[in-house]
Amino acid sequence: MTASEEDWNEQDSQDFIRYGEYFVPERAAQAAVIASAIPTPPPGALILDLCCGQGRLSAALLEAFPQAEVVGLDISTTMLETAGRELASFGDRFRTEHFDLAASAWRVRDPAPWAVVSSLAVHHLDGEGKQQLFRDVYAMLRPGGAFVLADLVEATGPLGHELARRMWDDAVREQSAEAGVPAAYEKFHELEWSHYHYPDPLDRPSPLGDQLNWLARTGFAHVDAYWMKAGHAVFGGVKQEGPTA
Ligand SMILES: C[S@@+](CC[C@H](N)C(=O)[O-])C[C@H]1O[C@@H](n2cnc3c(N)ncnc32)[C@H](O)[C@@H]1O
């Protein structure tokens, strides 16, 4: 499966660059948790940021790990150009690569990455697609490294659904008001951004419990959820050194 016209487009990229600060619950906190979930990278280690967008997570990782390099991959020209521009101060420690998350060619990497991360994008793959991605990331990782995801997750029942819907609304309303941009909350609804209000075939989040099980079944160790709020979670696991089960 590859990206189609019904998938993410350049207007979505423009909207996310303009409003991502307000639409994502505690975006900076999520990036800090991801950095904390990556075992200390050895000198020269490579980190892949899948669907890097304008590079906010990549920048946080480059700051947290001065010994590491980051490759930001994305399908959107707008995002790749913005990331290249905004992270230029990191010099050759950051570079971008055009890719389609759903394609397979990019999944064979040399050198092997120490960590693979992704924020708010893997939910574009269906359950089968996520499980294949988890297997491919496990195969490409250096032993000792980690796979850490921040993503929209699906509720498993009406209570979880209602809580996620309400808490996501509250988070966007608060973040918009705190920044003095209350119109961003109106835009959140005008753009029908919330999966919990406006389900869209482009969004195929899976329950967090399923994803933790898939990671463990793939072979990842120490699989855990590290943070969760308003239908968003940060979770992942480590590829252990030595023989695996
Ligand atoms: C919601 S944004 C998140 C961006 C960034 N990871 C962040 O958290 O700020 C989703 C990103 O996924 C990218 N994307 C969507 N579908 C993709 C695909 N099939 N292949 C590669 N990138 C894709 C978009 O271009 C966009 O940058």
The pLDDT-based confidence of 1 (bands split at 50, 70, 90) is very low
Task: Give the amino acid at 119.
Answer: S
In this prediction the pTM is: 0.97
- pLDDT score for 228: 98
Pocket flag, ligand 1, residue 188 (CB < 6 Å): no
pLDDT digits (tens, 9 = 90+) for 10-38: 999 999 999 999 999 999 999 999 999 99
pLDDT digits (tens, 9 = 90+) for 152-169: 999 999 999 999 999 999
Q: Where are the domains of the chain?
A: 10-238
What is the atom index within ligand 1 of the atom nearest the CA of 49?
6
Q: Is the pLDDT of residue 140 over 60?
A: yes
Q: CA 54, CA 32: separation in Å to the nearest integer?
A: 17
- pLDDT score for 44: 97
pLDDT digits (tens, 9 = 90+) for 34-52: 999 999 999 999 999 999 9
Task: Report the CATH superfamily, name and number, of domain 10-238.
Answer: Vaccinia Virus protein VP39 (3.40.50.150)
- pLDDT score for 7: 83
Pocket flag, ligand 1, residue 137 (CB < 6 Å): no
Which phi and psi (to 5°) does residue 46 adopt?
A: -110, 135
Q: Is the pLDDT of residue 114 over 90?
A: yes
Which tokens belong to 181? Answer: 């941009």
Give the start-end residues of each E strand in 41-126: 46-50, 69-74, 94-98, 115-119
Q: CA 146, CA 238: separation in Å to the nearest integer?
A: 4
Task: Give the distance (Å) from ligand 1 centre to CA of residue 160.
Answer: 25
Which tokens belong to 79? Answer: 């995002």
Kind and range of the H or E element at 235?
strand 232-238
Pairing of the two strands 69-74 and 94-98: parallel
Pocket flag, ligand 1, residue 52 (CB < 6 Å): yes
Task: Give the distance (Å) from ligand 1 centre to CA of residue 13.
Answer: 8
First to last CA, the chain: 30
